[in-house]
Structure 1
Amino acid sequence: MTKHFLLFITLICGLFSAQQNAYYQQFAKYKMDIDVDAANYTFQGKQSIDYTNNSPDELNVVYFNLYWNAFKPGSMMDQRVQFQGKTGDSRLNVNGISRLASIPKDQEGAQNIHWIKQNGKLLKFEIQETIMKVYLDQPMKSNSSTKFTMEWDANIPMQIRRSGRNNREGIDMTVTQWYPKIAEYDYDGWAAFDYVGREFHAPFADFDVNIKIDKNYVIGAGGTLENPSDVKGYTDSPSIKADKNDKVNWHWTAKNMLDFAWAADRDYSVESFSVLNGPKVYLVYQKSEKTKAWSELKPYITKYYQLMNAAFGDYVYPSYAFIQGGDGGMEYGMCTMVLGEAKSVESLCGLMFHEGSHSWFQQMMATNEPMYPWMDEGFTSYAEDYVMYQIFPPKEAKPNPFINSLHAYEKFTKSGLEEPAVWLGDHHDNGTAYTYSTYVKGETFLVELGYIMGEENLQKTMKEYYNQWHQKHPTDRDFIHIAQKVSGMDLKWFHHYWINTTKTIDYGIKNVQYDMTSTTITLANNSQVPMPIDFNVLLKDKTIVNYQIPLNLTRTFKTKDINGDFKSLAIWQWTQREYTFTIPYTKDQLAVLGIDFSQRLADVNQADNIVEVK
C-alpha cells in the first residue's frame, strides 16, 4: 500500500467524519450590571459577553438584536402593522390603526449603544433598527473565543407588545428582549431577523445579572436569585441594604438558556412550591379579587410538570416562574409573562400550560423560531391540549384531546386565507393565517403523524426527539429523521404536503353495495393529500371491527394503534383516486360504517365519512 493511497484514505475518512459530526452550536456567557431609574423608566447597562465560535467558519462580523428599537412610529413593526391593518395582531392595532404610530416620544422604546469593544479594542458598528452589525477587530477563527464589552442605555417603551411599562393590569415594568442580544450563527448563517412582532432565536448562554433598582420593588425573573435575603419578597424577614440612592441590588444567574427576562412591580407578591422530580415554581403576581385564581394553582401546576416530564422529557432547569406581565402570554427562559386576571382556574391554567410548554419546544428543543415557528407554537399547542385533556377532563366525551383544533382547521380551510406553514413567521400577510399555519397546522402535524404511524410510535418519537436534541437547535429535518427511524416509515411526503403546501385531506365513502354474504365499499380521495385510511365498522351487537388501508408512500405500515387490533387490507396507491374492498358482513349485521372513528384524520369534509346502515 503506497503512502499516496494511505493519504487518500485518511482524507476521505476525515471528510466522512466531518460530515457525520457537522452539527455545532455557539455559546455565550453574559455578565450584566443594570442601574434602573424607575421613575423615568430608563436604565444604564454594562455587559460583557464571552462568545465561543464552535462553527467551522471564520467570523468577521457579529450581529446583535436590539428589539426595543421597534417600538416607535415609522419602525418596521409600525409599517407592518399598518400594512396588515385589521388582519394583523389586535394587540398592535386599534380598529386597524397602528398603536405604534401614536407613541409619545418619551415613551418610545430605545436601546442606545454607547460603544462596543472586542478584547478591549473599540469596534465599528452600524444600527439597522433592531439589528446591530458589528465589524470585528480580529476575525474569530473556528473553535475560538473572544470577549465583547459594551455600554448602553435603554428607554422602556409603553407596553404594546410583550415588553413595556404600565400595562393595563398595572404592572410597572415588563422587561423582556431588553438587552443587546447576540444573534445565533449556524449552518444557515446569522439569524439576523428584523423584529416586526413575531418570534425570537438565540444561542444558548449563561447569565450573571445584577439589577439595581428602588428598594420598594419586587422582581420576578427567569433564573436563580442569589441574594434572596437582601431583597423584598422572597423571605419573611429580609435584611434590605439600600445604597445612598435607596436602591438595592438583585443578583440573578442562569445556565444554558436562550435569554434572561424579568419584571418589576412595587405590589408583587411571591409564592413558591417545589414539584417532586420537577422544578421549584414561583408565582409572582399582584394579589387582588381579579387574581384570586392564582391561589388555587399549586395542584394543577404540579400535575402539569409530572405529565410533561413523562410524555416529553424532563424539565432540566432548577426553577420556573409564572409572572404577571400584562400582555397575553409570552415565554422566556425559566419564566413566562402572563395576564394575571382570569375568569377561572381552568382558563388561567390553559394560558400557563401553553407558555410553560415552550420550555420544551422553544427553550430546550430550541428551534429557529423565525424560520420554523410551527415547530415551537404547534408542538407547544399539542402539549397544552394533551395535558389539559387529562387535568381538566371535558364534561362531554370527546374522541381525542385535539378535536377542537382539528375542527377549527377544517373550518379555516374554507376561508380561502390559508398560507403555508413553511413561510417565515414574520412574513405572513394575514395575522389569522399566521395563527392557523403556525399553531394549528403545527399541532395537527403531530396529530396526523400519530394517525399515520400509531400513537405509541409518536410517543416514542417525542421522547427520542428530547433525548437527542434537548438544549440543542433541531430543525424539522432532524425531527422527521427520528420519526422515520422510530416507525420505519417514509414520512417525507407527509411533511412536504402539510408544511410546504395548503393542500388538504378529503376522503369519503362513495358507494356501499350490500350482498347476500358481504358488503362492498368504495372510497374516494376527493382532494390532494394522500393518507393511509383507518376504516371502522360498528356491528349491531356493538362490536367494532377495525381495518387499515395502507398507503404505498409509507413503505412500512402501521401494525397497531389506539383502536386496538385491525385487519390490513391491500395497499392504496397514492395516484389512485378510488379504492374498493369487501368486508364479510351483511346489511342486517351492520350499524355504522366510517372512516376514522378516532377522528384524528384532518379531513376537511366529514359529512361523507360516515354511513349509518338502516
Structure 2
Amino acid sequence: MRKSAAILFAFIISQFQAQQGAYYQQAAKYKMDIDVNAEKFTYQGNQTLEYANNSPDVLNVVYFHLYWNAFKPNSMMDQRVAGQGKNGDSRLQKDGVSRLASIPKDQEGAQNIHWIKQNGKDLKFEIQETIMKVYLAEPIQPNSTTTFTMDWDAVIPQQIRRSGRNNKEGVDMTMTQWYPKIAEYDYDGWATFDYIGREFHAPFSDFDVTIKINKDYVIGAGGILENPAEVKGYDSTANIKTDKSKKATWKWSAKNILDFAWSADRDYVVKSFDVPEGPKVFLVYQNNDKTKVWEEAQPYVTKYFQIMNSHFGKYVYPTYAFIQGGDGGMEYGMCTMILGEAKDIKGLMGLMAHEGAHSWYQQMLATNESVRPWMDEGFTSYAEGYLMYQLFPEELPNPFANTVNAYRNFVKKGIEEPAVWLGDHHDNGTSYTYASYVKGELYLVQLGYIMGEQNLAETLKQYYDQWHMKHPSDRDFLHIAQKVSGMDLKWFQNYWINTTKTIDYGIKDVKYEAKSTTITLVNKGQVPMPIDFNVMTADKKIVTYQIPLNMTHTWKEKDIYGDFKTMPYWPWTQKEYTLTIPYTKAQLSVLGIDFSQRMADVNIEDNVVEVK
C-alpha cells in the first residue's frame, strides 16, 4: 500500500471510530432530606446531587424531570387525554373526559423549586412544565463530576395515575417520580420527553434518602431500610424514635438503580422472606378482606425469582418490595407499586410477574422506554408469559399461544400502529398496548420460531451478560441474536417493529399421488417468514419439514418443538412454494403450517387441511 493511501485509510478508520465512540453512561448520587406534612399532603425537600459526566461531551446545561407538574388542569397531560377522548388511556379519563381537568386547586401536583446551585454557585433555571432546564455556572467537562444542591417543596397530587394521595384503594401516599430527577444523557442527547403519562428513563444512581413523617405511618420502598428498629412495621421490638413534632425518621439507601420510589400508609403491614440465593422480598400492603390472597404469595414469588434468575439472568439487588400502591402496576428501582385487591393467587401473580420482570427489562437492562417501549414492555411481557406458564401450567401448544391469538384478533380492527413510535405519541391507547406490550412480546416469540428456542434462550442470556446495568438499544440486542443464530435478522426487525405489515401464509392446494403428496403453499401477507410445515400421519406421528427463508442465509438447526427435515429455501419474492412429501393419502391424517402455533399468522383458517 502506498504511503498516501495508508494515511487516507488510517484517517477514515479514525473518523469511523470517532463517530462510533466508546460506550459510556452517566451516573448520579442523590442525598435527600424530606419532611412530610401528612395532614396537608405536602413535603419539604432538600437535595445534594453528585453528577458524573462520563461522556466525551462538554455539558453547558442540564435537565431535570418534574413529573408532578403534569397533574393539574390544562397541563400537557390533560390536553393529550382530552384530545384523545375515548381512544386514550381509560385510567386517565371518565366517560371520555380527562380526570385531570377536575383536580381541585389545592390538590394539583406541584414541585416548587426554590433554588439550585452548582458547586455553591446560584444557577438560572426555567420550568417547561415537567422539564426544568438549568443553565450551568461552569460547563461540566468530559470525565468530570459536579455537585448540585437544591431546595424545593411539593404538593402531593390527587391520585390520577401512579402517583398521588388517597387513591381508590385508600393508600394515603404513593410517592413515585416524586423528586426533581436529573435526565439521562447519552449518544442521542438529553432524554427530555414531557411527561404525558407513559414511560420513564434515567441514569443509574445511588440514593441516600431520609424521610420524616408522622410516627403512625409505615413506609414501603425500593431500597434498604437502614434503621428498622426505629420505625413502625419492620421490627416487632422497634423503639420508635420521634422528634419534637412526633415524627419518625426513616433512612433508606439504594445503589445503582434508576429511581427511588416509596409509599406510606397507616394501615400497612410488612411481611418478608428470603429467596434462596436472593433477594429478600418484602410484601407491603393493607391487611384486609380484599388482600387476603397476598398470604398465599410467598411460595409462588420464591419460585418466580428462582426461574427468572436461572433463565433471564441473576437479579443483582439485595431486596425487592411488592407494595400496594393502589393503581394498576408500575415498576421502579427494587420495587413495584401494584393493586392490592386480587380475585385469586393467579391474578395477583400475573401482576407481580409482569412488574417484577421489569427489574430485568427496564431496570437492569435499562433501555430508553420512552423511545423503545416495545423493548421494555414487550420483553417484560415475554418473561411474564414464560413464568406464568411455569407457575400455572395450561394445556396450550406454547406459553404464548393466547398472546398470538389476541394479536390476530386485534389486527382485524384495523387500528394497529407501528411499535417503533415513541411511547407517548400513539394516537390510540389500545394500539399503544398492542404495539408495545403485544408486538414486543411477539418479537421474541417470532425470533424463537425463526432461529429456534435454544438460540433465543442463549440470546437472552448473552444479552443479560453483556448489557445488564447498562443502557442497551435494539441494535445491541439484534447484534447478539444474529451472532448466536448466524442469521441475518434485520429484515424481520424492520417488518415487525417499523411497520404494521402482517404474516399470512396458507395451503393453496394438495395433490395426492400414488406414492407421495404434493402441497402448494402461498404467501398472502406482506411479512415473509420461514415455514415449519407439519404432517400428522395416520398413526399420529408428527413429521416436520422446515422451509427456510432465503433472507436469513443460515437455517435453523434445532428447536425444542421437535426434529425436522430442512427443505430448499423459499425466496421472499416468490409467492408460492411447492413441496412433495413421501406419504400417500391413506398414510396422512392432518397437514398444517406451524403446529406449534408460534408464528403470528393473521389468518389461520387456511393453515390446516384434514385428510379425509
Describe the shift of the 1:302–1:502 C-alpha distance in structure 2 as closer, same or farther (beyond 3 A). Answer: same
Match of 1:25 in 2: 25
Structure 2 residue runs without a partner (length 5+): none
Residues 546 and 563, structure 1, Cα contact 8 Å, conserved in 2 = no
Counterpart for residue 126 of structure 1: 126
Partner of 1:148: 148
Closer/same/farther in 2, CA of residues 575 and 73 from structure 1, 3 Å limit? same
Change beyond 3 A, Cα 1:556–1:41: same
Determine the C-alpha separation between the residues in 2 that align with 1:74 and 1:357.
35
Shift, 1:132, TM fit: 0.3
Correspondence for 1:353 = 353
Query: How far is the alpha carbon of 1:3 from its aligned partner?
Result: 12
Shift of 1:88: 1.0
Match of 2:517 in 1: 519
Matches of 1:16 and 1:94 in 2, distance apart?
53
- 2:408 equivalent to 1:404: no
What is the rounded CA distance, in whole Å, between the counterparts of 2:561 and 2:83 in structure 1? 48
1:523 partner letter? L
What residue number does 2:268 align with?
A: 268
**1:502 partner letter:** T
Distance 1:577 1:16, change over 3 A: closer
Instruction: Work out which of the residue numbers 568, 571, 580 in structure 2 matches 1:570.
Output: 568
Alignment of 1:201 with 2:207, yes or no, is no
How far does residue 446 in structure 1 lie from its aligned partner after superposition?
0.3
Distance in 1 of aligned mates of 2:403 and 2:66? 35
Say whether the 8 Å CA contact 1:361–1:380 is kept in structure 2. yes
- SS state of the match for residue 390, structure 1? helix
The one-letter amino acid of 2:357's match is S
Aligned to 1:498: 496
Cα separation, 2, equivalents of 1:301 and 1:462: 22
Distance 2:3 2:419 in 1: 53
Give the match for residue 139 of structure 1.
139
State the match for 1:165 in structure 2. 165
C-alpha distance in structure 2 between counterparts of 1:2 and 1:399, whole Å: 63
Contact in 2 for aligned 1:366/1:474 (Cα 8 Å): yes
Q: CA separation in 1, counterparts of 2:122 and 2:80?
A: 35
The CA distance in 2 between the partners of 1:411 and 1:17, in whole Å, is 47
Letter in 2 for 1:202: A
Distance across 1 between alignment mates of 2:399 and 2:490: 25
Structure 1 unaligned segments of length 5 or more: list them.
none
Distance 2:610 2:546 in 1: 20
Deviation, structure 1 residue 393 = 1.0
Change in 2 beyond 3 A, CA 1:418/1:2:
closer
> What residue in structure 1 maps to residue 537 of structure 2?
539
1:322–1:352: 8 Å Cα contact kept in structure 2? Answer: yes
Contact 1:201-1:369 within 8 A present in 2 as well: yes
Equivalent residue runs for 1:217-232 within 5 Å = 217-232=217-232
216-225 vs 559-568, which moves further: 559-568
Q: CA deviation at 1:19?
A: 6.0
1:374-418: CA deviation from partner (whole Å, max 9, x where unpaired): 000000000001000010112xx1001111110010011110100
Q: Following the alignment from structure 1 to structure 2, what is the Cα–Cα distance between the partners of residues 147 and 20?
A: 29
The answer as to 2:419 corresponding to 1:414 is: no
Contact 1:169-1:326 within 8 A present in 2 as well = yes
- The within-5 A match list for 1:117-516 is 117-394=117-394, 397-516=395-514
Q: Aligned partners of 1:3 and 1:529: how far apart in 2?
A: 49
TM-score calculated relative to the size of structure 1: 0.98
Does the 8 Å contact 1:368/1:473 carry over to 2? yes
Report how many aligned residue pairs link the two structures: 612
Aligned partner of 1:579 in structure 2 is 577
DSSP 3-state at the match of 1:438: helix
Q: Assess if the C-alpha contact under 8 Å between 1:53 and 1:144 holds in 2.
A: yes
Q: Secondary structure at the match of 2:90?
A: coil
SS at structure 2 position matched to 1:528? coil
| SS of 2:89 mapped into structure 1 | coil
Q: Distance in 1 between matches of 2:62 and 2:196?
A: 21
**Match of 1:525, as an amino acid?**
N
The alignment partner of 1:573 has SS state of: coil
- Partner SS, residue 606 of structure 1: coil
Amino acid at match of 2:501: K
Task: List per-residue Cα deviations over 1:12-63 (Å, max 9, x = no partner).
Answer: 7766665675211000000000000000000000001100001111111100
In 1, the alpha carbon distance for the partners of 2:8 and 2:400 equals: 55
- Give the Cα separation in 2 of the matches to 1:158 and 1:318: 33
Query: Quick one: distance in 1 between partners of 2:411 and 2:20?
Result: 41
SS in 1 for 2:91: coil
Q: Residue 159 of structure 2: SS of its match in structure 1?
A: coil
Per-residue CA deviation, residues 490-539 of structure 1 (Å, 9 max, x unaligned), is 00000000000000000000000000010000000001000000000000
Residue 219 of structure 1 aligns to which amino acid in structure 2? I
Deviations 1:86-105 (CA, angstroms, capped at 9, x unpaired): 11111100010110000000
1 CA distance for matches of 2:243 and 2:562?
Answer: 69
Q: Per the alignment, in what secondary structure is the counterpart of residue 52 of structure 1?
A: strand
Q: Report the Cα offset of residue 209 of structure 1.
A: 0.3
Cα distance in 2, alignment partners of residues 333 and 404 from structure 1: 30
Structure 2: distance between partners of 1:83 and 1:312: 40
Other-structure match for 1:89: 89
Match of 1:101 in 2: 101
Q: Is the 8 A contact 1:321 1:336 kept in 2?
A: yes
**What residue in structure 1 maps to residue 72 of structure 2?**
72
The change in CA–CA distance for 1:20 and 1:62 in structure 2 (over 3 A counts) is closer
3-state DSSP class of the match of 1:460?
helix
Q: CA deviation at 1:563?
A: 2.5
- 1:144–1:85: structure 2 CA closer, same or farther, 3 Å change rule? same
Q: Are the structure 2 counterparts of residues 508 and 354 from structure 1 closer, same or farther at C-alpha, using a change threshold of 3 Å?
A: same
> 2: distance between equivalents of 1:59 and 1:314?
35
**8 A Cα contact 1:594 1:611, kept in partner:** yes
In 2, the alpha carbon distance for the partners of 1:364 and 1:157 equals 29
SS across alignment from 2:436: helix
Q: Deviations over 1:300-325 (max 9, x none)?
A: 00000011011100000000000000
**Partner residue in 1 for 2:557:** 559
CA distance in 1, matches of 2:267, 2:551: 59
Q: Per-residue CA shift, 1:240-261, capped at 9, x if unaligned?
A: 1110000011000000000000
Q: C-alpha distance in 2, partners of 1:538/1:350? A: 35
**How far apart, CA to CA, are the structure 2 residues paired with 1:575 and 1:453?**
21
**Is residue 107–residue 156 contact of structure 1 (8 Å, CA) maintained in 2?**
yes
C-alpha distance in 2 between matches for 1:506 and 1:262: 47
- The answer to whether residue 62 in structure 2 is matched with residue 62 in structure 1 is yes
Aligned Cα RMSD in Å? 1.6
SS state of the match for residue 485, structure 1?
Answer: helix
SS at match of 1:69: helix
1: distance between equivalents of 2:500 and 2:50? Answer: 44
Supply the distance in 1 between the matched residues of 2:427 and 2:524 (Cα, whole angstroms).
29
Q: Determine the C-alpha separation between the residues in 2 that align with 1:544 and 1:537.
A: 6
C-alpha distance in structure 2 between counterparts of 1:44 and 1:581, whole Å: 73
> Using a 3 Å threshold, how does the CA distance of structure 1 residues 5 and 227 change in structure 2: closer, same or farther?
farther
Moved more, 486-495 or 559-568: 559-568
Question: How far has the Cα of 1:211 moved from its partner?
Answer: 0.4
